[in-house]
């Protein structure tokens, strides 16, 4: 059983608000990821981290930012939400690059009105 958590599960918020999506894992994994996925569409990697104090941008450009101050915690922040940010955001982690299995959280469905 994978222990990776995301909060909130659902969020409806107005344009211009600042939001933080939380992601935590209790497996001690070094590598963590954020993916964005529109309904019925493919996954797109927006951020990843190799460990504490490491953050990298993914394949899809995103206006969000991330931080990695603790191994278990990898929050994603949008400074000013816009309707174009409406999507599902999925957090994942893996034990090590390459040979490690990837585990996903349940996702946060964000709607910006």
Partner 1 sequence: KQEVTQIPAALSVPEGENLVLNCSFTDSAIYNLQWFRQDPGKGLTSLLLIQSSQREQTSGRLNASLDKSSGRSTLYIAASQPGDSATYLCAVPFFYGQNFVFGPGTRLSVLP
Out of 43, 49, 66, 73, the residue judged to bind partner 1 by CB under 8 A? 43
107 belongs to the binding site for partner 1 (CB under 8 A) = yes
* Of the candidate residues 48, 62, 74, 76, the single one contacting partner 1 (CB under 8 A): 48
Site for partner 1 in 49-88 (CB under 8 A): 56, 58-59, 88
Of the candidates 100, 103, 96, the residue with the CA atom closest to the CA atom of residue 23: 103
64 Cβ contact list (under 8 Å, min separation 6): 34, 46, 47, 76, 77, 78, 85
The token pair at 19 is 């939001």
Specify the stretch interacting with partner 1 by CB under 8 A; choose among 20-28, 68-76, 79-87, 91-99: 91-99
Task: Kindly state the DSSP code that residue 81 receives in the 8-state scheme.
Answer: -
Instruction: Based on the shown chain and the rule CB under 8 A, indicate whether residue 106 belongs to the binding site for partner 1.
Output: yes
CA–CA gap between residue 100 and residue 85 (Å, rounded): 30
Site residues for partner 1 per CB under 8 A: 2, 6, 33, 39, 42-43, 45, 48, 56, 58-59, 88, 90, 92, 97-99, 101-107, 109
């Amino acid at each position: 059983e994978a222990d990776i958590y995301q909060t909130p599960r659902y969020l409806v918020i107005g344009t211009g608000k600042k939001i933080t999506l939380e992601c935590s894992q209790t497996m001690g994994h070094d590598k963590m990821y954020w993916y964005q996925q529109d309904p019925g569409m493919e996954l797109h990697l927006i951020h990843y981290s190799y460990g504490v104090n490491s953050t990298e941008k993914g394949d899809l450009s995103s206006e969000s930012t991330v931080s990695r101050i603790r191994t278990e915690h990898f929050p994603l922040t949008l400074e000013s939400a816009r309707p174009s940010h409406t999507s599902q955001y999925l957090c994942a982690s893996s034990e090590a690059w390459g040979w490690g299995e990837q585990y996903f959280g349940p996702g946060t469905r964000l709607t910006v009105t």
